[in-house]
Amino acid sequence: MKTLNLYGTQDLRYEEKPNPVLTEEDEVVIKVKAVGICGSDVSRYKKLGPYVEGMTFGHEFSGEVVETGSKVDRIKVGDRVAGCPTFYCGECHSCLKGNLSQCEKLTLIGARHPGAYAEFVTLPASHVLQLPDNVDYESAAMVEPSSVVAHGFYRTSIQPGSTVAIMGCGSIGLLAVQWAKIFGAKQVIAIDIDDKKLEIAKEVGADVLVNPTVHTPHNRVAEVTDQLGVDLAVECAGSPITSEQVLALPKKGGEVLYMGIPYANIELDRFYFERIVRNELKVIGSWNAISAPFPGKEWEATLHYMSNGQLNIQPLISHRLSLKDGPATFESLNNRDGSFVKVMFYPHYAI
């Protein structure tokens, strides 16, 4: 089968590998219909390198079940599915408390297990979610990143009528705009330096658009919130600059949710650090997308809101490509050559 495999930093190869073979009675083989590039994939390609040299990369996917193990009864051949790529140990302190996303040995396909930048992938049946009839494969490939965002929002105390600022309008930020509305936000402020991404944010529900190259974010947020600030500010860009700037957006007693990963040192100017202390902010970290009972309410909620149309995925997909385009695409992402939101690969189609 055709695959994309990571051998080292900036060393991604398009190669043939044997089709997967079931080794466990509770596993299924899935024909990958669509698989997206995650921001964490780009960071691992750019500077971190693989966990295992030559590992088949990728973890955001959907597909069709083509084979099931002898003990699988809930999932059938021909089912349209999304896959939860994450594995937890079930034995560490966090797992025993039910905090699965805090597992000491948390891992996923594409890291230490063969991933979904491939024509076929295997998963335990417990990681497989059947799709509603009206959820297409492209949308279903976004179930995992949407669940990541939902997981973060569930950790906050957002209430209907809240005001929310989203810092960074890549795919995670654009999903956050929509989840803010689902959680009942009356006003969502989208912040990004890319006007194209801001236009997509508007399309999916943002009420106010802020470009930091034109307006200082905290000044503009103050202007549109009667000088109060927002109830919740969500950092989705994962840059040292935005990780600092987001602290000036909430009102006194407000919350900051960090979902972006800078992969760089963060230095806080005194002005921003004092906002934490003087405004008595609650700062929340969020990691991954799973909860108990596995895979968690995040996944069920995502499929529900995709099915009823409140999660609109199509505007987020900026590129539709074949797997063979993978190495060149990652190089372009690394060089910031062009405007990308969500890149989707189609392993079984030549595009």
Q: Are 185 and 208 in contact (CB under 8 A)?
A: no
**Residue of 190, 140, 147 lying closest to 30 (CA atoms):** 140
**In the predicted structure, residue 351 carries a pLDDT above the cut 70:** no
CA atoms within 13 A on the CB side of 276: 15
Q: What is the pLDDT of residues 28-69, one digit of tens each?
A: 999 999 999 999 999 999 999 999 999 999 999 999 999 999
- DSSP strand pairing (27-36 vs 60-68): antiparallel
Residue with tokens 């921003």: 272
* pLDDT-derived band at 333, boundaries 50, 70, 90: very high
**In the predicted structure, residue 337 carries a pLDDT above the cut 90:** no
In the predicted model, what is the mean pLDDT of residues 6-15? 98
**In the predicted structure, residue 132 carries a pLDDT above the cut 70:** yes
In the predicted model, what is the mean pLDDT of residues 11-25? 96
pTM: 0.97
In the predicted model, what is the mean pLDDT of residues 166-191? 98
Q: Are 241 and 269 in contact (CB under 8 A)?
A: no
* Cα 146 from Cα 160, distance rounded (Å): 20
* Cα 24 from Cα 21, distance rounded (Å): 9
**In the predicted structure, residue 312 carries a pLDDT above the cut 80:** yes
Angle at 113 between CA 33 and CA 302, to 5 degrees: 50
In the predicted model, what is the mean pLDDT of residues 291-316? 98
pLDDT, the chain, mean:
97
**In the predicted structure, residue 350 carries a pLDDT above the cut 80:** no
Instruction: Give pLDDT, residue 15.
Output: 98
* Cα 254 from Cα 247, distance rounded (Å): 10
User: What domains lie within the chain, and their CATH numbers?
Assistant: 2-146+289-345 (3.90.180.10), 156-285 (3.40.50.720)
In the predicted model, what is the mean pLDDT of residues 283-292? 97
Q: What is the pLDDT of residues 82-119, one digit of tens each?
A: 999 999 999 999 999 999 999 999 999 999 999 999 99
Q: What is the pLDDT of residues 223-244, one digit of tens each?
A: 999 999 999 999 999 999 999 9
Cβ within 8 Å of residue 328, ≥6 positions away: none
Instruction: Give pLDDT, residue 349.
Output: 81
**Residue of 351, 341, 337, 330 lying closest to 58 (CA atoms):** 330
Using left for φ > 0, alpha for ψ between -120 and 50, and beta otherwise, residue 180 falls in alpha
Q: Are 231 and 166 in contact (CB under 8 A)?
A: no
